[in-house]
Amino acid sequence: MKPRIFVAVVLLLAGLAFAPPAWASIDATAFLGATFKPSTTSTRGASLGVGFVIVAFEFEYCASSEDPASATPSLKTGSVNGLLQMPVPIARMQFYATIGGGLFREELAGATETSTAVNAGGGVKITLIGPVRLRIDYRVFKLNGNPLSPRVQRLYAGVNLKF
């Protein structure tokens, strides 16, 4: 092997062996919770995000059920959110604040409303074991247009996997 190639290979291997950890991480969450509108209904959803130490971004989809007895509409939201999070967990907990926007669809007894929505909130990701974390999240949504419930609150807990 030529000396230059040998030196290049050794330097490449040393660089890989001593490289700092990646600054970006990907995480996915599946969650269950409650949406508070005229009455409380169950909600379920998922999110996929990418984080860069302090700043993270995620896409989230969530759906809550309709309750005709209490005139509570179903609600589906799809949003893109930005998160400002602690750079490292403290006592296995990583707190964050979030703000975002997207679209919603509200339905009750055949009537529908589709428009834009903004949300803000916060939460915590608690490390359980390895890449598995418990995520607890609270959000307040402002639904634009003419929804039956223009302000909606949501609380959920879910399993979060960090890649």
- What is the residue whose two structure tokens read 């040393």? 14
Output the pTM of the full model.
0.84
pLDDT for res 28: 98
* CA 89-90-96 angle, 5° bins: 55
Q: pLDDT at position 24, please?
A: 86
Identify the CATH assignment for 21-162 out of 3.10.580.10, 2.40.160.20, 3.40.50.300, 1.10.606.20: 2.40.160.20
Q: What is the pLDDT of residue 38?
A: 80
Bridge partners, residue 49, by sequence: 27, 58
Mean pLDDT by 10 residues, the chain (163 residues): 66 53 85 93 97 95 94 96 95 98 96 97 98 98 96 98 95
Q: Domain ranges in the chain?
A: 21-162
Q: Is residue 93 within 8 Å of residue 136, measured between CB atoms?
A: no
Strand 111-129 vs strand 93-108: parallel, antiparallel, or unpaired?
Answer: antiparallel
Four-residue CA torsion sign, 45, 100, 56, 138: negative
Structure tokens at 147: 């929804």
Q: What is the DSSP letter of 130?
A: T
